C-alpha cells in the first residue's frame, strides 16, 4: 500500500486568506491518520453547503497512489468526525501563494 498523501486548503474567513498544507498521513497523529484513511473509502456526514458569511470552507484531497478522493465542506457543515483532522492540518498550514 502506498503512503496516504493529503492536500489541504482552507479558504474564506474574515480576512479571506487561503491556507494550504500537504502532508503524509504517516506524519500525523495516529487518530488523524485513521480519519484520513477513512476519507479514501467513505463520505462522512456533512456537505459543502453554502456556509455562513465569513466562515471557512475546507477542501481535502486524499490519495494513496491508486485512489484519490476530494471532499469539500463549509462551516457549519463540517462533520464532527473530520474536525480533529482539520484542526491538525490548519495548525500546519501556511498562506497559499497568490494566484
Please, which residues have CB within 8 angstroms of residue 26's CB and are 6 or more apart in sequence?
3, 4, 33
Q: From start to end of the chain, where are the E strands?
A: 5-12, 19-24, 56-63, 68-74, 94-95
Dump pLDDT digits (tens) for 36-56.
999 998 877 554 555 677 789
Report the DSSP pairing between strands 94-95 and 68-74. Answer: unpaired
Average pLDDT, the chain: 88
Q: Residue 73 in contact with residue 79, Cβ under 8 Å?
A: yes
pLDDT of residue 13: 80
Domain boundaries, the chain: 5-95
pLDDT of residue 45: 59
Compute φ and ψ for 43, nearest 5 degrees: -120, 105
Q: What is the mean pLDDT of residues 19-23?
A: 96
pLDDT of residue 29: 96
Amino acid at each position: 500500500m502506498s503512503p496516504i498523501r493529503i492536500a489541504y486548503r482552507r479558504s474564506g474567513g474574515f480576512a479571506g486568506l487561503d491556507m494550504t498544507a500537504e502532508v503524509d498521513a504517516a506524519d500525523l497523529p495516529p487518530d488523524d491518520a485513521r480519519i484520513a484513511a477513512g476519507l479514501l473509502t467513505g463520505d462522512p456526514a456533512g456537505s459543502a453547503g453554502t456556509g455562513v458569511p465569513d466562515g471557512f470552507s475546507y477542501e481535502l484531497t486524499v490519495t494513496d497512489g491508486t485512489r484519490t478522493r476530494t471532499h469539500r465542506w463549509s462551516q457549519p457543515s463540517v462533520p464532527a468526525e473530520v474536525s480533529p483532522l482539520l484542526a491538525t492540518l490548519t495548525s500546519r498550514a501556511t498562506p497559499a501563494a497568490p494566484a
